[in-house]
A = this chain, B = another copy of it.
Amino acid sequence: MLDAPSALRSVWLAIHWFDHDLAYMSLIVQKYGGTSVGDPVRIRNVAGRVATTRRDGNDVIVVVSAMGKYTDDLIRLATEVSNDPPAREMDMLLTAGERISMALLAMALSDLGIGAVSLTGSQAGILTDDTHGEARITEIRGTRVKDGLAKQKIVIVAGFQGVDPESKEITTLGRGGSDATAVALAAAHGASVCEIYTDVDGVFTADPRIVAGARKLEEVSFDEMLELAASGSGVLMGRSVEFGRRFNIPIHVRSSFREGEGTWVKEKTMEQAIISGVAHDSSEAKVTVQAVPDQPGVAAALFEPLAEAGVNVDMIVQNVSSDGSTDISFTVPRSHTANAREIAMRVADELGAGGVDVDEAIGKVSLVGAGMKSHPGVAARVFRALADAAINVEMISTSTIRVSCVVRGDKVEDAVRALHDEFEPPMITQEIGADG
């Protein structure tokens, strides 16, 4: 019988070698955004990076977006032929964008002597529901991807698109769709990591254009990244982070223009941050239904029709005043404002409310950190820091790892700086293995 330390050592070695083997033979999914493949020179650069990953001994699946602003160009063409383009045809149109970039990348790889095959979303087995323009991935069938990998080829997959297996119609996944494609493929094919290449160096503690001292995070947990994404951090969309968390695929957000590590988004981070970062979002509007009679069911009467109309409601705040009526405020993306106003006014009428006010001059600032749940008083410090900077807080919403405040739109940058100065994220506390 072995003594315990020796047995542990054997196990450690086995894991070590197994890891090493895995690392050498492992599958890496790399996703390059529109800026990274914005022109032929950049596409050749991406090919060089993929080739290096290949020569390091990895299998590689590459997911690409459309080149630069190409999707915007296609949308503009659509508006020039139609006032209300059918969503089905819009998807047919937009999917041309990734088709172009994926074929060009395959050519550039071929020029480097690296065998590659490009596949549309449909060919790569990205199955979705039938919601044109905002389809959800329902299943990944990987025959052609596996065939390509088995033939020692780099498999390039068009991001942002899939196919509804019932109707055989081509679909697109909506905002952040290419990231979702990449993480879903990584999960389906058992990749060791999903690398998201972008035009910034990683996830920062705040927007570096606003906060000079903003720092790149080395690691951030899935939960924190979800809160950061929901709070306006544009680096990664929430849906891809959700995939990563569900299937435990580490996501490495890094620059396609610079060498060096970016930010790892993982299940368990080595260091537990009290505060990971400050995020902001200036794309929302606040809708207030004034003087609503304070009686059961009024919230449902308002938010049910909004949900049915597909309006994305973010924050909701309700406060009962002493006279028995109440104001209900909520925020929505500004693109949904018109729709939200119309529904709110109809409901206000039915409920006998005072009226509806829409305010587009707002912004939201959020403090995110998994450690704050075990550190009471963070919210209080947030309000104090904003007050000291003479910034009025109009709405408050919190989760266990986030505090969000709605402020005047022209105060957003001041608020971001005030919170970053106060907390100086990442505020690290060593809690490895702790329940946090």
Contacts and interface: CB of A to CB of B under 8 A. Distances in A.
A89 B77 contact: no
A315 to B, nearest CB: 36
Given A96-B99, A100-B93, A103-B93, A108 B88 contact: no
A300 interface: no
Interface in A102-139: 102-108, 110-111, 116-118, 123
A178 interface: no
A82 B108 contact: yes
A211 interface: no
Contact of A99 (B77, B95, B103, B144): B95
Contacts of A85: 107, 110
A5 interface: no
A96 B93 contact: no
A393 interface: no
A208 interface: no
Contacts of A77: 40, 100, 104
Contacts of A83: 111
Copies in the complex: 2
B99 A86 contact: no
A107 B81 contact: yes
Interface residues of A, number: 39
Contact of A96 (B81, B96, B110, B168): B96
Given A81-B44, A82-B111, A85-B110, A104 B99 contact: no
A86 B74 contact: no
A261 B105 CA distance: 46
A149 interface: no
A107 B123 contact: no
B100 A96 contact: yes
A84 interface: yes
14 contacts: A44-B81, A47-B81, A81-B105, A82-B108, A82-B110, A82-B111, A84-B110, A85-B110, A86-B110, A88-B117, A89-B110, A89-B118, A92-B103, A144-B168
Given A43-B81, A84-B111, A85-B107, 5 more contacts: A81-B111, A89-B103, A96-B96, A96-B97, A96-B99
